[in-house]
Structure 1
Amino acid sequence: MKIIILGAGRVGESVAESLVSEHNDITVIDQDPAKLRLLEERLDLRGVVGNGIQPSVLAEAGARDADMLIACAALDESNLVCCKVAHDSFQVPTTIARLRSSELIEGEELLGKTGFAVDRVICPEASVTRYIHQLISYPEALQVLEFAEGRASLIAVRATAGSVLANHAIGEFRDLIPQAEMRVVAVYRHDAELETTPQTRILPGDEVFVLADTRKIHAVLSALHAVDRPVQRLMIAGGGRVGLRLARSLVGQCEVKIIERDRKRCDYLASQLPSQVLILHGDVADEDLLLEENVGEMDMFIALTSDDEDNIMSAMLAKRLGARRVLSLINRRAYADMMQGSTIDIAISPSQAVIGELLTVVRRGDVAAVHSLRRGAAEALEGVARGDAKTSRLVGRRVQDLRLPAGVRIGAIVRGSDEASEVLMPHHDTRIESDDHVILFLPSKRLVREVEKLFQVSATFFG
């Protein structure tokens, strides 16, 4: 697929890196030659220096035969105009815009074909807020991802000593917790993936990826991890866009405190949030301030400033002072990889939070959702089986007869819609039906193209 990316910032760079790894033809437009030169040296892509809203620059980038434009420059205005020019002047089939404004909503006439011609909207701040909300709802989890409109969930959890399933083989799980059927799709020990067989024994410290009916997630988590109490007291370091969004969404759900360094921003936060949210003016890494505000009594401390070092330092300090669980927003991938699972419980990458939304659009076949796992190394993919036994590689076939790429595993099948749906943990003789939502675990992004082909129907299918 030929894709043009506007903007070589953090989001643009992460998007380019993810798409290049899947052998797409990528061109990045940016006004900073130095940024482009670094990208070209590191990744197999082409850089074009210039302003992406100018038709001549888009033409140089290959817009005439591009399949997709992803506009993720710093300004909403630039992204909107770039999508409009790409659609109207070059008939680019799919346009995606990164938009920070909450007033620009996907599907509204303003963003439609007669407006700015934006097919999909991505908002990293909104994606990060949704991601954090899941971690607040399931404080034992390292990652929570939803499929089939929330009917099935994939969770990552670190097994703890004394939990029901620790020191037991996967084949024993069903007898140990019969009330919550699950499918273990991956196990990592010291960052190395283990083979998931019924004989594989889960040890304390293992990172376990499990698929289950969303209604059973709490039971699964409590079986693998010592049960955490619900998040009732939460402290946010940084009152920027994400901090404000998160605090606003948590009003009435738990006690929230925000620490913000900028006095004017504090005044703005106070005007935007109800009085029960406490706004504190100060340094997020000030030990005296954290002690004074009882950080040791917090169920969760979340560092969300725009500075990686501040986030890392404040989160580590909060943990040392007794905060039960600490999360840190970290933009630099090297920092995130280094800090994940250390003193900091969870390192959140804004770019990785939006990658899945983008990949769903890029994927071929009837792919409904894509989520990156382990900071982009692996993927979970949800596809819809269409057609019949003659036109589909999936429909009418038993799981044991499917020709899956090596390492790819079917985690769950969601059958039916709405409240009547079933979440099935497929066995070797389970037969896939038309319109089933099939959720697969891919240990490597290199397998994506082969998996996509499974969900493509032949030309004779017109359903």
Structure 2
Amino acid sequence: MKIVILGAGQVGASVAEALVHEANDITIVDNDRERLAALQDRLDLRTVCGNAALPSILGDAGLDDADLLIAVTQSDQTNLVACKIAKSRFNVPTRIARLRAADFLEDEQLLSDENFAVDFAICPEENITDYIVRLVDFPEALQVLEFAEGRLVMVAVRAYEGGALVGKPVRKLREHLPSQVDARIAALFRQDQPIIPEGETVIHAGDEVFIIAASEHIRPVLRELRRMMRPVKRVMIAGGGNIGYRVATALQQRLEVKLVEHNRSRAEWIAPRLGDTLVLCGDATDEDLLEQENIAEMDLFLALTNDDEDNIMAASLAKRLGCQRVLALINRRAYADMVQGGPIDIGISPAQVSIGTLLAHVRRADVSQVHSLRRGAAEALELVAHGDRNSSRVVGRSLGEIPLPKGVTIAAIVRDLETPEIIGYQGPVGIQAYGHVVIAHRDTVIQSGDHVIVFCVNKKLVHKVEKLFQVGFGFL
């Protein structure tokens, strides 16, 4: 596939890195020559320096025969103009734009082919906000991922010394669960090395365990792997930028939220808009300020400024002063790898969080969802199976028959996603959810239309998985 990416910032560079290893022809456009040179030194791609909103620059980038345009510059206006030009001048089949302003995101007519011609819009700040809110709901988790419109949840946790399954084989998990609850350990990482979990694989303390279950079952399953932390009630946020403001807005009605913003004019702007949040003007790396605001009584500290160093310093300080759990937004992957698991419980890469929704529109098979895991090293995909036993290598076959590449695990299936089923009762009233969850075992048979959750311990395996799920010519 020939892909043109506009913008060589964190998102653009991460997308290029994710796609360049999959036999794609990548061209990236930016007006920063040094940034382009650095990318070209480490990735096999072509670069064009210039203004991404100019037809001449887009022509130089090869848009006249491109299959896909991904416009992820820092400017909404540039991204919109580029998509419009790509449609009207170069007739590019698919156009994706990064947009921040709600005015654009909320007006579908404005993005239609007759106007700015955006096929799909992504908002990284919105994706990151949703991601952080899920972590607040599961304070013991390192990652929380949803599939099949929330019907399935995959959670990454650190196995702790003394946990019910530590020192025991993976097959023992089912013995610890109620008869009506099923789950699967999709992957293990031990000292950053992937281990494909089989029945006799023994879980060690400190292992990073990815476990998947129906949304209503995930909490009892987690209790078997580690201590459940007390629910989060008090949160302190460092940074009142787009992400900090969005997170405070999402949490303030159900939690006690304090937000620290160093810029006085910004603090004065957000304070009246966050009626249930205490907004403080100050520096989140100020030890006296944190102590005055009772940081030791906070359940969670979120460092969400635009500066990696400030986030690392503020989160580390909050942890030292007694905050139970701290999270930092870290753009540089080297920083995230260095600090997570030390003084900082969770380091989040904004680019890796946000590119998942974008990758779902790039994959060759019918992909509904992509989650980038372990800072881009692994991926979890939700693929829709099509065809029959004659036209597909997966449909009509049990998992034991499917030739999965080494390092690939089929973790679960959601069947009949449009059909409601009762998953529990609240008094006499039944609680409904759409789709039937099937936790994958060796004898599980995939049917056409199934949403199949696949875990790849190495993102280089994704291309093989896509080919496996593609329908042959025999399918009518």
Measured after TM superposition, the shift of residue 26 of structure 1 is 0.8
Deviation string for 1:244-289 (max 9, x for gaps)?
0011111211000000100001100112111x31011111100000
Is the contact between residue 163 and residue 226 of structure 1 (CA under 8 Å) also seen in structure 2? yes
Measured after TM superposition, the shift of residue 460 of structure 1 is 4.0
> Paired residue for 2:473?
459
When residues 106 and 87 of structure 1 are mapped into structure 2, their CA distance, relative to the original with a 3 A threshold, is farther
Q: Secondary structure at the match of 1:155?
A: strand
Q: Secondary structure at the match of 2:342?
A: coil
> Paired residue for 1:253?
254
Which deviates more, 423-432 or 58-67? 423-432
Which deviates more, 321-330 or 403-412? 403-412
Match of 2:452 among 418, 430, 438: 438
Is the contact between residue 144 and residue 155 of structure 1 (CA under 8 Å) also seen in structure 2? yes
Distance (Å, rounded) in 2 between the aligned partners of 1:427 and 1:202? 19
Which deviates more, 245-254 or 416-425? 416-425
Is the contact between residue 141 and residue 221 of structure 1 (CA under 8 Å) also seen in structure 2? no
> Paired residue for 2:216?
215
Is the contact between residue 7 and residue 71 of structure 1 (CA under 8 Å) also seen in structure 2? yes
Is the contact between residue 370 and residue 381 of structure 1 (CA under 8 Å) also seen in structure 2? yes
Distance (Å, rounded) in 2 between the aligned partners of 1:10 and 1:413? 33
Q: Are residues 1:120 and 2:120 paired?
A: yes
Distance (Å, rounded) in 2 between the aligned partners of 1:296 and 1:255? 14
> How do 1:21-420 and structure 2 match up within 5 A?
21-105=21-105, 108-179=108-179, 180-274=181-275, 276-417=276-417, 418-420=419-421
Letter in 1 for 2:441: H
Distance (Å, rounded) in 1 between the aligned partners of 2:411 and 2:119? 31
Letter in 1 for 2:184: R
Distance (Å, rounded) in 2 between the aligned partners of 1:396 and 1:204? 39
Distance (Å, rounded) in 2 between the aligned partners of 1:293 and 1:340? 25
Q: Secondary structure at the match of 1:316?
A: helix
When residues 416 and 164 of structure 1 are mapped into structure 2, their CA distance, relative to the original with a 3 A threshold, is same
Deviation string for 1:273-309 (max 9, x for gaps)?
11x3101111110000000000000010000011100
Measured after TM superposition, the shift of residue 415 of structure 1 is 1.2
Measured after TM superposition, the shift of residue 419 of structure 1 is 2.7
TM-score, normalised relative to structure 1? 0.97
Is the contact between residue 158 and residue 225 of structure 1 (CA under 8 Å) also seen in structure 2? yes
Letter in 1 for 2:339: M
> Paired residue for 2:428?
none
Letter in 1 for 2:460: R
> Paired residue for 2:436?
422
Distance (Å, rounded) in 1 between the aligned partners of 2:389 and 2:138? 40
Letter in 2 for 1:431: V
Distance (Å, rounded) in 1 between the aligned partners of 2:7 and 2:396? 45
Measured after TM superposition, the shift of residue 107 of structure 1 is 7.3
Distance (Å, rounded) in 2 between the aligned partners of 1:13 and 1:388? 38
Q: Secondary structure at the match of 2:104?
A: coil
Distance (Å, rounded) in 1 between the aligned partners of 2:324 and 2:20? 39
Measured after TM superposition, the shift of residue 160 of structure 1 is 1.3
> Paired residue for 1:15?
15
Is the contact between residue 382 and residue 437 of structure 1 (CA under 8 Å) also seen in structure 2? yes
Gaps of 5+ in 2: 422-434
Measured after TM superposition, the shift of residue 454 of structure 1 is 2.1
When residues 372 and 94 of structure 1 are mapped into structure 2, their CA distance, relative to the original with a 3 A threshold, is same
Q: Secondary structure at the match of 1:215?
A: coil
Distance (Å, rounded) in 2 between the aligned partners of 1:207 and 1:402? 27
Is the contact between residue 238 and residue 259 of structure 1 (CA under 8 Å) also seen in structure 2? yes
Distance (Å, rounded) in 1 between the aligned partners of 2:106 and 2:438? 33
Letter in 2 for 1:247: A
Distance (Å, rounded) in 1 between the aligned partners of 2:447 and 2:10? 41
Would you say how many aligned residue pairs link Structure 1 and Structure 2? 461
Distance (Å, rounded) in 1 between the aligned partners of 2:455 and 2:158? 18
Q: Percent identity?
A: 54
Deviation string for 1:393-444 (max 9, x for gaps)?
2111111111111221110111112433221122222211111111111111
Distance (Å, rounded) in 2 between the aligned partners of 1:48 and 1:461? 41
Deviation string for 1:216-255 (max 9, x for gaps)?
1111222111111111000000000001001111121100
Distance (Å, rounded) in 2 between the aligned partners of 1:353 and 1:201? 30
Which deviates more, 177-186 or 345-354? 177-186
Is the contact between residue 162 and residue 226 of structure 1 (CA under 8 Å) also seen in structure 2? no
Distance (Å, rounded) in 2 between the aligned partners of 1:32 and 1:161? 49
Deviation string for 1:54-88 (max 9, x for gaps)?
11111110001101111111111011001100111
Gaps of 5+ in 1: none
Which deviates more, 131-140 or 14-23? 14-23
Measured after TM superposition, the shift of residue 103 of structure 1 is 2.2
Q: Secondary structure at the match of 1:59?
A: helix
Measured after TM superposition, the shift of residue 328 of structure 1 is 0.1
Measured after TM superposition, the shift of residue 105 of structure 1 is 2.4
Is the contact between residue 367 and residue 455 of structure 1 (CA under 8 Å) also seen in structure 2? no
Measured after TM superposition, the shift of residue 195 of structure 1 is 3.6
Letter in 2 for 1:459: F
Deviation string for 1:111-161 (max 9, x for gaps)?
010110001111111111010011001111100111111111111000112
Q: CA RMSD in A?
A: 1.3
Which deviates more, 303-312 or 186-195? 186-195
Measured after TM superposition, the shift of residue 347 of structure 1 is 0.3
Q: Secondary structure at the match of 2:216?
A: helix
Letter in 2 for 1:366: D
Is the contact between residue 284 and residue 314 of structure 1 (CA under 8 Å) also seen in structure 2? yes
Distance (Å, rounded) in 2 between the aligned partners of 1:187 and 1:30? 38
